[in-house]
Structure formats: C-alpha cells, structure tokens
C-alpha cells in the first residue's frame, strides 16, 4: 500500500483494490435475488392476474362460482397487503416473524428472494390483469365463437399477446428489483449495498465507497435494460412474409 | 337457382320465444325463427333493430333473457360445457374479423380444428389449406393478420370458420367494416359458398346480396321479425308498411 491517498479517485482505486472482490460477490447476490425474484414474481403475477380476470359465467355451477369468488377475494387481500406496505418492513416482518413464530431460521438470501417475489408478484398482478383486459375483446369472441373454452382462449390467444405486451413491464420490474434488493440489508442479506456498508467500516470513506457501489448498480441496470430491448425485438419476429406460389401451397 | 327448388325439411336450428333485454332496454321481443339445412337467410333491417343481437343470441355470445335456442330440436343449455360443444357446430364470421393477432394466417385456421375439434395437426393443416385456397388466400399462409387488408382478413376469417366444418355459418355484417372496393371480393366468396349449399344466416346491409343470393329474407324492426319471405316477396311485394318504408329509404340512398 502506498500510504493514504490524497484524491477522490485515489481513494476509489484503493477501496476497489481492497474491497473489489467483496463488491463483486455482493453484485452476484444482488443479481441472483433480482433475477429469481423477478421470475417467481412474474409467475405469481400471472397466476393472480389470471385469477382476477376470470369471468364468472352465468351458466356455471354455484360451487364453481363460490370457489372463484373466494379465490378472487384471497388474491386481492394479498395484493393489497404487499402493495400497501414498504418492502423493507415486509422483510422485517417475514424474516423475524417466521423466526419468532415458527422457529424457522431462513437463510437471509432465500428470505430475500421470497420477499422480492411476493412484492413483484403483487405489482405484476395488476399489470397482467391490465394486459389481459387490453387485448381486443373481439379476439376473445372469435375464440369463444369457435367453441374454445375460457382456459383455451387464455392459453392460445390472450396470454401469449399479454405476455408480449408485458415484456417492457417485466424489464422495468427487473431493473427496479436490482435497486430494491438494497433494502434487504435490514435482514443481513449480503447484497451489494450491504457490502458497501461493510466496506465503509475501515476508512469511513462513504462517498468513495458508495460512488463505486452506485456505478456497479448503474452498470447492472444499463446492461439489463439493453438486453431486454434486444429480446423484445427478437420476439417480434420478422416483419416480412413470403407469398406462396399456387403450386407450392400443398407442400408447405 | 337449383337449390331454391330443394326442399328444406331438416331443421338445424330454431329459436322459440327468444327475448333479450339489456337492463330496461328490450332489444328482442318474443322471436320465433328457424333455419333449415341448405337455407341462405338474410336478415335485414335498420341499425338498432336487433338483428345483430339475434345472431349473437343464436351463438350464445349473448345469453338470451327468455326463450330457447334449439339445435337439432334439443335446447342448448346455458352451461359452459354445453355452450362450448354447441358453438363448435355453428360458425361465426364477425364484422371486425376477430383474427388472432398472435398467429399467422395458417395457424389462425388450424387452432380451432386442433384444440376444439381435437384433430391431428396434419388433418387440421389439410382442412385449413383447403379452405384458405377456396377463399383465395392460399398464398398468404405465413402472413400475420395485421399485414393483410380488410377484405383479406375477412376471407381468412371465413376460411377459419369453414375449417371447423360447421353445420351452419352465421355472418354478422361481414362487409360493414370494409372499404367499398373490398366488399365485392368478400361477397363473391359468400355467394360461392351459398351456391355450394352451405347453410347460412347473414346479417347484412347489402340489399343486392340479400335479393340475389338468399333463399329467405327476414326483415327486423324494433326487436321483432316484421316480415319474412322469399326475396321476391320481400323486395317486390312487401306486405308490411314498415318493410316498404325501410326498403324505400334504402333504395333511394
């Protein structure tokens, strides 16, 4: 070591050389939680959104109507709770609550994934419902008129389109998730922000440390949003089509 | 035309005392109506006379407020299972085409055959190709709906309905959303199907089509069937004053 640095960038490079490995480890934790949380969150969001947009058909049995109503009520309570409280508070309640009430000692990083998933799911649900409703009702009628059931209509016609329309939203969710993982430091998840706090302990250079941390966050979010735009383009497929000559039609 | 000589003795579908209200607004009042095999029925009438609602009730897209829909003499029960089974036999072509935006033309025509009629992919494809060729859209198998013109979309929608091999095909103002130059190509296809003996009910504003192609014309006014008969009776010798007034207005436009 060459003594105490005098400039800002001197400190930045010193801190990075000493704590770089730790920051990279924190970065991987952050990515791990954000990725899994977004994936599970989407699954939850789609399930909840599908449940919320299920019509109660007039001809269904009373039993089925009851089950649908009850499920709808339960998922809307879930959405209200997770949208209506801060994620940091949810982390405390779930992590310490499960420890105190059930005696579970969840590994913090898994608790983090669980909390982020539940949170993302609650936000996603509303977007999914919106995505389903936004598909031209004519297509639902077209499917119904040819005898498709509600489930078939959703599976083959509505959800593929809703999913396509939701990709920007999912991308946004992932970018938010990368940043939101920072609140999980309250339950000692060793993600990027937590590593930053730890690194401050030696030199008390908060500015330099969190300058590095913010750069890492920025790189992560920048790369992910570019990748998502590429994915979106790929999913849209080619914009041209080939006409097929009359004598080739049968052979396609 | 030869088929006009045919006897239509097999009733495919009938509605009895059908009523439909949206809130306090009574759109259909005590309608009795039936469709026999081989008939080409045009339903005409002013906007708001209930003709589209009647068609939608026939296909159970609207639940009738009263009365019954009978398919081959059996009432169609309003349970999801019965309605689904019934609809697979009664095709429908809409004003706004309603093609599936996420599927190419070929897949649009295959999906129902595969998933509703439970046929294998190869068979579904053969049916889809047969009917796409018939409507002159064979070259566009790989196009997506948004890449087609209105007339092309409607022809694909007709092929999609035909691929289900329905007993009866319902057309809900099939040319109303089309530019004038595309109306002809779609009417040509419907005319050809009529000449081949397909049973159909067409809600339309195309009076020439109703007069030349139908075997029976139904005139609806204010939620009731005001008058029905052969095209000759309705267009040349209408009995009801309302029919006369409607046709006068229409012909003078």
| The pLDDT of residue A50 is above 80 | yes
Mean pLDDT, chain A, rounded, equals 90
- Residues in A closer than 8 angstroms to B141, CB to CB, are 244, 249, 252
CB within 8 Å: B87 and A152:
no
Please say whether the dihedral angle defined by the alpha carbons of residues A57, A62, A64 and A70, taken in this order, is positive or negative: positive
Q: What is the pLDDT of residues A68-107, one digit of tens each?
A: 999 999 999 999 999 999 999 999 999 999 999 998 888 9
A252 touches B at CB < 8 Å: yes
Chains A and B: how many Cβ contacts under 8 Å? 106
Residue with tokens 């067409």: B202
Q: In a 3-state reduction of DSSP, which class is residue B141?
A: coil
Reported as a single tens digit per residue, the pLDDT across B94-135 is: 999 999 999 999 999 999 999 999 999 999 999 999 999 999
pLDDT score at B180 = 87
Task: List the single residue in B77, B102, B129 with the smallest CB-CB distance to A160.
Answer: B102
Query: Of B94, B115, B141, which is closest to A244 when you measure between CB atoms?
Result: B141
Tell me which residue in B83, B112, B141 faces A59 most closely, judged by beta carbons: B83
Strands (E), chain B: 11-22, 25-36, 40-44, 66-71, 74-75, 90-93, 168-172, 200-203, 216-221, 224-229
Q: Could you tell me the pLDDT band of residue A211, with boundaries at 50, 70 and 90?
A: very high
Q: Which tops the pLDDT comparison, A243 or B65? A: B65
Q: How would you write chain A as a 3-class SS string?
A: CCCCCCCHHHHHHHHHHHHHHHHHHHHHHHHHHHHHHHHHHHHHHHHHHHHHCCCCCCCCCHHHHHHHHHHHHHHHHHHHHHHHCCHHHHHHHHHHHHHHHHCCCCCHHHHHHHHHHHHHHHHHHHHHHHHHHHCCHHHHHHHHHCCCCHHHHHHHHHHHHHHHHHHHHHHHHHHHHHHHHHHHHHHCCCCHHHHHHHHHHHHCCHHHHHHHHHHHHHHHHHHHHHHHHHHHHHHHCCCCCCCCCHHHHHHC
A54 lies within 8 A of chain B by CB: no
Interface test with B, best of A56, A135, A142, A244 (most B CBs within 10 A): A142
CB contacts under 8 A, A 152-211 vs B, are 152, 156-157, 160-161, 164
Encoding tokens for residue A116? 């982020």
- Taking the domain A8-234, which CATH number applies? 1.10.3720.10
* pLDDT for A189 beyond 70: yes
What's the CA gap between B242 and B220, in Å, rounded? 10
Contact assignment for B100 to A243 by CB distance below 8 Å: no
Tell me the pTM.
Answer: 0.84
Q: pLDDT for B29-52, tens place per residue?
A: 999 999 999 999 999 999 889 999
Among the partner-chain residues B78, B139, B157, the one whose CB lies closest to the CB of A243 is B139
CA-based radius of gyration for chain B: 18
pLDDT in tens, B216-227: 999 999 999 999
Residues in chain A with CB shorter than 8 Å from the CB of B164 are: 146-147
């Amino acid at each position: 070591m060459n003594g105490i640095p005098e400039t800002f960038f001197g400190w930045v490079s010193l801190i990075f050389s000493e704590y770089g490995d730790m920051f990279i480890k924190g970065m991987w934790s952050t990515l791990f939680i954000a990725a899994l949380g977004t994936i599970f969150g989407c699954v939850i969001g789609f399930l909840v959104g599908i449940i919320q947009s299920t019509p109660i058909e007039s001809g269904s049995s009373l039993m089925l109507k009851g089950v649908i109503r009850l499920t709808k009520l339960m998922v809307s309570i879930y959405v209200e709770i997770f949208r209506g409280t801060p994620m940091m508070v949810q982390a405390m309640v779930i992590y310490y609550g499960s420890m105190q009430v059930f005696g579970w000692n969840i590994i913090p990083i898994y608790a983090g994934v669980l909390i982020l998933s539940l949170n993302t799911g609650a936000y996603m649900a509303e977007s999914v419902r919106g995505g389903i409703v936004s598909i031209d009702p004519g297509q639902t009628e077209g499917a119904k008129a040819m005898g498709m059931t509600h489930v078939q209509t959703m599976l083959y016609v509505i959800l593929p389109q809703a999913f396509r329309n939701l990709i920007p939203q999912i991308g946004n969710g992932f970018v938010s998730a990368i940043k939101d993982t920072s609140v999980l430091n309250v339950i000692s998840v060793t993600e990027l922000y937590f590593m930053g706090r730890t690194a401050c302990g030696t030199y008390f250079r908060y500015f330099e440390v969190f300058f590095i941390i913010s750069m890492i966050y920025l790189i992560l979010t920048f790369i992910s949003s570019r990748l998502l735009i590429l994915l979106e383009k790929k999913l849209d497929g080619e914009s041209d089509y080939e006409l097929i000559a009359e004598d080739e039609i049968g052979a396609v | 035309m030869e088929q006009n000589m045919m006897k239509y003795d097999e009733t495919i579908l009938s509605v009895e005392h059908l009523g439909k209200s949206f809130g306090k607004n009574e759109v259909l009042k005590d309608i009795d109506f039936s469709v026999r095999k081989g008939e080409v029925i045009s339903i005409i009438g002013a906007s708001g006379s209930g003709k589209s609602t009647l068609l939608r009730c026939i296909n159970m897209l609207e639940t009738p407020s009263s009365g019954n829909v009978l398919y081959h003499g059996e009432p169609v029960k309003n349970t999801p299972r019965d309605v689904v089974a019934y609809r697979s036999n009664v095709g429908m072509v809409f004003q706004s085409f309603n093609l599936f935006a996420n599927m190419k033309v070929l897949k649009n025509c295959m999906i129902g055959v595969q998933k509703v009629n439970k046929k294998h992919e190869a068979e579904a494809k053969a049916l889809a190709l047969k009917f796409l060729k018939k409507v002159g859209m064979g070259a566009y198998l790989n196009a997506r709906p948004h890449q087609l013109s209105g007339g092309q979309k409607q022809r694909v929608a007709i092929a999609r309905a035909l691929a289900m091999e329905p007993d009866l095909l319902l057309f809900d103002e099939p040319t109303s959303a089309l530019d004038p130059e595309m109306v002809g190509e779609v009417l040509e296809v419907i005319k050809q199907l009529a000449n081949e003996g397909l049973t159909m009910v067409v809600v339309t504003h195309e009076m020439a089509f109703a007069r030349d192609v139908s075997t029976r014309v139904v005139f609806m006014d204010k939620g009731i069937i005001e008058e029905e008969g052969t095209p000759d009776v309705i267009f040349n010798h209408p009995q009801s004053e309302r029919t006369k007034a409607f046709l006068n207005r229409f012909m003078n436009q």
